[in-house]
Amino acid sequence: MVEMRSIWTENTEMPRFKKLTGSRKTDVLIVGGGMAGILCAYFLEKAGVDYLLAEGRRIGSGITGNTTAKITSQHGLIYHRLLEKAGAERARMYLDANQDAVRKFARLCRRVDCDYEVMPSFVYSRKDRKILEKEAEALARLGFQPLLTDLCELPIHTAGAVGFVEQAQFHPLKFISGIAQGLRIFEDTFIREFTENTALTEEGSITFDRLIFATHFPIDNKHGMYYLKMYQHRSYVIALKDAPRLKGMYVDEAKTGLSFRNYKEYLLLGGGAHRTGKIGGNWEELRNYARLYYPNLDEKYYWSAQDCMTLDGIPYIGQYSRSMPDCYAATGFNKWGMTSSMVSASILTDLILGKENPYAPVFSPSRNMIKPQLFVNGYSAIANLLTISEKRCPHLGCALQWNRAEHSWDCPCHGSRFDGFGKLLDNPANGDLR
């Protein structure tokens, strides 16, 4: 039987936390109980900071529970682009920050039973050898020695691959289940709205001095212009049982390509990606590949995920906006949520403690916004607002599109999603369809 759920939910018992009722006061309020929020809570706990984490559902029930869970600083072929667009200093900051995140996961995972495995990471190309060589040259200029190989254990033809050694893969829900024990977390605590320094929940309120938005897409529309600085992208995974064991984790350099990694006896085959609210290959594309390359393997699980994409491929981590000095953002992870979550927790903890973080400048949400993608996002939003539709998103009024593959109403502007009955599935909308 094929089940529409993430493989990480199989036989994983997550800790339960009570719902917040009444009024509470805290120094730091963390909103969102995914990987980024839990890691922020963990490091603030270790630092002795007064904090509280509010999660609207269950911890790990959002994007974290639907990831492919690769711990790697190899985020596609990003480094030659960073070198050209941001310069050597910031490209090196980005690399060092993510390599540091890989090492921090390694240390934490020694104490947590989470199926952690050291594994090389590879980005392959189906046709373009030169782009692989360009990436390898850029990394060498940054002082990092990648692998550049013609050999590939995948069933598809490639022009080669660029590899990073000593990266890792793990079970994300087992990990956060382990580190969340004893943290000050409230589940089923949906924040309806914010007033000045107060978050209003369904059955109470939280007064805070500082605020971390770890909600995947930030839910405050008044500041920071995140609705222009990001769009959302959907991707799909199927789990094939009794698969051959790969010696690495693989992802195509092309946006429409495939990703591969093992988990125990399963092969996790990812792809079918498209902008939220648009048409894409989804699971059918993956099943076509599986029939062609793995005809003897049975599909056991299938699921999907959603990712926030930034203007320049770098996450927004730091002060939410110049007009909100005591609020912080951790968003725009561009499909690389594991190391980006660790980078977020490291930077935001330092900011709250008043420490200088060496990597903070490259991730600043207030950096230059003038990028080609900004105009694409703006044009898409304007065109959509003029579209006639049966349903409109309560976030900013965009016309919703029916997603036939997933039976949901999706927003092409900012990525909010609702089920067939109008219940909120993915933010930035902060409530159900009216």
- As a whole number of Å, the end-to-end CA separation of the chain is 36
3-class secondary-structure state, position 349: helix
The CATH number that applies at residue 189 is 3.50.50.60
Q: Is residue 110 situated within a structural domain?
A: no
The amino acid at residue 371 is K
Residue 35 has a pLDDT of 98
Give yes or no: residues 320 and 220 share one domain: yes
DSSP string for residues in 260-321 = EEEETTEEEEEEEEEETTS---HHHHHHHHHHHH-TTPEEEEEEEEEEEEESSS--EEEEEE
Which CATH number is 383's domain given? 2.102.10.10
Secondary element (H or E) of residue 90: helix 88-109
Judge if 420 and 318 occupy the same domain: no
Please tell me whether residues 14 and 63 are part of one structural domain. yes
In 3D space, the residue among 404, 368, 411 whose CA is nearest the CA of residue 389 turns out to be: 411
Residue 254 lies in a domain: no
Note whether 354 and 378 are same-domain residues: no
Claim to verify: residue 359 and residue 389 sit in the same structural domain: no
Residues 320 and 422 grouped into a single domain: no
* Residue at token pair 């495939």: 258
Let me know if residue 199 belongs to a domain.
yes
Domain end point (choices 346, 363, 380):
363
| The one-letter amino acid at 168 | A
Whether 96 maps to a domain, the answer reads no
Alpha helices in 110-171 (DSSP H): 129-141
On whether residue 248 sits in a domain, the answer given is: no
Q: Is 62 exposed, middle or buried (0-12, 13-18, 19+ CB in 10 A)?
A: buried
Residues 13 and 63 occupy one common structural domain = yes
User: Is residue 359 assigned to a domain?
Assistant: yes
Strand partners, 254: none
- Which of 342, 363, 384 is the C-terminal boundary of a domain? 363
Is 327 a domain residue? yes
348 Cβ contact partners less than 8 Å away, ≥ 6 residues apart: 40, 212, 317, 318, 328, 330
Asked if 192 contacts 200 with a C-beta cutoff of 8 angstroms, the reply is yes
193/214 same-domain check: yes
Same-domain status, 388 and 408: yes
Segments forming the whole domain that contains residue 402: 372-426
Supply the pLDDT for residue 223.
Answer: 84
- Show pLDDT as tens, one digit a residue, over the chain (434 residues): 787 899 999 878 899 999 999 999 999 999 999 999 999 999 999 999 999 999 999 999 999 999 999 999 999 999 999 999 999 999 999 999 999 999 999 999 999 999 999 999 999 999 999 999 999 999 999 999 999 998 779 999 999 999 999 999 999 999 999 999 999 999 999 998 888 899 999 899 999 999 999 999 998 877 888 988 999 999 999 999 999 999 999 999 998 899 999 999 999 999 999 999 888 899 999 999 999 999 999 999 999 999 999 999 999 999 999 888 899 999 999 999 999 999 999 999 999 999 999 999 999 999 877 777 776 777 676 766 667 777 888 887 888 889 988 889 888 888 889 888 889 898 888 888 87
Helix (H, G, I), strand (E, B) or coil at 418: strand
Length of the chain: 434
Q: Are residues 179 and 196 in the same domain?
A: yes
| pLDDT at site 379 | 62
**Number of domains present in the structure of the chain:** 2
| Selection from 242, 71, 79, 80 nearest residue 166 by Cα | 71
pLDDT at residue 375 in the model: 67
218 neighbors 224 (Cβ within 8 angstroms): yes
What residues have CB less than 8 Å from 48, skipping those under 6 apart? Answer: none
Q: Quick one: 319 and 336 in the same domain? A: yes
Q: What is the pLDDT of residue 415?
A: 83
- Within-domain flag for 108: no
Domain boundary among 336, 363, 390: 363
Q: What is the DSSP code (8-state) at residue 83?
A: H
